[in-house]
């Protein structure tokens, strides 16, 4: 997996050298006159829940050079851009509901050919059924009450048999009264009852309060 650690920070090799996405730090390594310069983008865990999960111990996620990813809740493309670095020969279908965020996502896709921006509602996956192929990973970062349900709806339609899903759950988006621990337990139960196994559970503190990430696969 094309993920690197630089001085205690997480980074990805820049697919578009010299170009930043969100004012992240760039690190160049190698001999200037040897034409073997490598450039890395520091991945900010306070701007990306996937980076937070990886720094907190997420190990089993399968992201390869040629992986195909369905990203739900792509926003302006911060995390999408790092997955684009990792899956340089793959494809990221980036679903976003906000037209404002989509404008930035489209501009990002013009610099990175492996990103396909889709202005769509992740709760209605059948509307983009003909635009998305079967994928290796469904990634869900949609902070709303029914986030587990929309996550599973998309996995049922688009996930390969041997694929994985990763959902980041924000407790306060589901219930502001219930304790996060109870919410996370209930959401895990929903996922298991719908035919999926939870491979890893990663809390995202100190980067995100009251958040957890579940890495899942189909139960066989």
> How would you write the pLDDT of the chain (220 residues) with one tens digit per residue?
789 988 889 999 999 999 999 999 999 987 665 567 889 999 999 999 999 999 999 999 999 999 999 999 999 999 999 999 999 999 999 999 999 999 999 999 999 999 999 999 999 999 999 999 999 999 999 988 899 999 999 999 999 999 999 999 999 898 888 898 999 999 999 999 999 999 999 999 999 999 999 999 999 7
The per-residue DSSP string of 76-94 comes to TSHHHHHHHHHTTTSEEEE
Instruction: Please report the pLDDT score of residue 6 as a whole number.
Output: 82
What is this structure's pTM?
Answer: 0.95
The burial class, CB within 10 Å (0-12 / 13-18 / 19+), for 14 is buried
Q: How many other C-beta atoms are found inside a 10 Å radius of the C-beta of residue 180?
A: 18
CATH topology of domain 44-218: Rossmann fold (3.40.50)
Q: How many other C-beta atoms are found inside a 10 Å radius of the C-beta of residue 145?
A: 9
Q: What's the distance, CA 41 to chain centroid?
A: 16
Of the candidates 83, 82, 24, 44, the one whose C-alpha atom is nearest the C-alpha of residue 207 is 44
Q: Any idea where the domains of the chain sit in the sequence?
A: 44-218
What is the token pair recorded at 2?
Answer: 């094309």
- Give the SS3 label for residue 46: coil
């Amino acid at each position: 997996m094309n993920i690197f650690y630089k001085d205690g920070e997480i980074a990805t090799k820049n697919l578009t050298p010299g170009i930043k996405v969100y004012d992240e730090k760039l690190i160049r390594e190698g001999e200037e006159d040897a034409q073997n310069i490598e450039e890395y983008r520091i991945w900010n865990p306070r701007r990306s829940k996937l980076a937070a999960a990886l720094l907190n111990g997420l190990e089993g996620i399968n992201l390869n050079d040629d992986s195909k990813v369905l990203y739900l809740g792509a926003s302006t493309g911060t995390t999408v851009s790092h997955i684009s670095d990792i899956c340089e020969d793959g494809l990221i279908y980036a679903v976003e509901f906000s037209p404002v965020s989509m404008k930035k996502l489209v501009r990002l896709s013009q610099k990175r050919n492996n990103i396909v921006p889709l202005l769509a509602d992740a709760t209605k996956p059948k509307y983009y059924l003909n635009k998305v192929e079967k994928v290796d990973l469904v990634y869900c970062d949609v902070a709303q009450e029914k986030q587990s349900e929309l996550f599973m709806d998309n996995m049922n339609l688009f996930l390969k048999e041997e694929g994985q899903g990763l959902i980041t759950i924000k407790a306060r988006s589901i219930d502001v009264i219930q304790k996060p621990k109870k919410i996370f337990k209930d959401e895990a139960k929903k996922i298991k009852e719908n035919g999926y196994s939870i491979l890893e559970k990663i809390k995202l503190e100190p980067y995100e309060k009251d958040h957890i990430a579940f890495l899942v696969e189909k139960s066989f």
